[in-house]
Amino acid sequence: MPVSVFRRFAFTYGTAFAIFYVFARAQGLALVTVYPSFGIVLVGMHHSRDVADPAMEFLAPEIWWYGWMGSAAIGAYAVGLVAVLLPERLCRWFWPGWVWVAPVIAMIGCIYLTLPWFRL
Amino acid sequence: MATALLILHGLTAVALLGAITHQALAAWAPSRARRRSFFGRFRAVQGAAFANAIAALYAAVALLGAIVYLYFKIDIQPFLERDRHWHALSFFELKEDFAAIGLSLLPAYWVCWRRPAREPSQMRAILTAILAIIVWWSFLVGHVLNDIMGFGS
């Protein structure tokens, strides 16, 4: 793969991942839910309280982080692939600075989504 | 096993912290004058020489962190919730998010340092700074959480 093509992929992937990640986090779009105490992986986003008594939730802690990353990675990979396949002239409108602006905005978005924890 | 992985995760993170700090300072405050002071020598490194190592170390630290996270979720988080360490847990949530975003930036970061003559130095410096902030944040939060529970508790 030529460096210029990889550059196009890398810049669009980094930009799209940040956007998709914060969107997946906000909307609960986890690709998988992992239950480490049981060694179970379920497709989609699940809550322990959906299948167990809410008071027993601590027995089955769930992990969505892998799922959020998976959702964002697939979305970003698709966007990166489209950017690679597009002709060079169509990609000129893409400002390379988005590759750092989008992550900064996504990080601020993540701080906003975490604020409820601080109110506990 | 979990303790061994956590220690390995921490040691790799220390190496990453040192490398990214060197590179970030070299990118933002390059040393042009005679390098007599410690700070002058610290930032007088060739940033490009660190890029491969930083990308590899970041990926390794993230992978180890993702494995250790399984143990954290079962053995540590319930006790932190019981003791109402909500602020520490929220900082850890942010660590997860920032680490994931940083991981996705690695290809762009690597390209910027791979072709320093072709990419604007500003872009290189900003991406390096974002990664440095993420690494420092993750390191400090991980350290604080480890201190709350204590070794072997």
pLDDT score for A33: 93
Burial B21-35 (b: 16+ CB within 10 A, else e): ebbbbbbeeebeeee
Average pLDDT of chain B, as a whole number: 89
Rounded distance between C-alpha atoms, residue B129 and residue B25, angstroms: 9
What residue ranges do the domains of chain B occupy? 2-149
Domain count within chain A: 1
Tell me the mean pLDDT in the region B142-151: 83
Rounded distance between C-alpha atoms, residue B101 and residue A14, angstroms: 8
Please name the member of A14, A61, A72 whose beta carbon is closest to the beta carbon of B105. Answer: A14
Main-chain dihedrals φ then ψ at residue A5, nearest 5 degrees: -70, -45
Please name the member of A14, A61, A117 whose beta carbon is closest to the beta carbon of B86. Answer: A117
Average pLDDT of chain A, as a whole number: 87
DSSP character for A114? H
Tens digits of residue pLDDT in A19-64 = 999 999 999 899 999 998 888 899 988 887 666 565 666 677 889 9
pTM of the predicted protein model: 0.91
Tens digits of residue pLDDT in A60-116 = 788 999 999 999 999 999 999 999 998 877 777 788 899 999 999 999 999 999 998
Residues of B in contact with A14 (CB under 8 A): 104-105, 107-108
Nearest CA in chain A to B96: A65
Rounded distance between C-alpha atoms, residue B44 and residue B30, angstroms: 6
Q: Which of B71, B79, B101 to mutate to test the interface with A (most CBs of A within 10 A)?
A: B101
Helices (H), chain B: 2-28, 38-42, 51-71, 77-82, 86-114, 121-149
> How far, CA to CA in Å, does B47 sit from each of A6, B31, B38?
21, 12, 17
Residues of A in contact with B111 (CB under 8 A): 3, 6-7, 10-11
DSSP string, A73-92: HHHHHHHHHHHHHS-GGGGT
Q: How far is B44 from chain A (nearest CA, A)?
A: 25
Predicted confidence (pLDDT) at residue B91 exceeds the cutoff of 90:
yes
Q: Which domain covers residue A16, as residue numbers?
A: 3-118
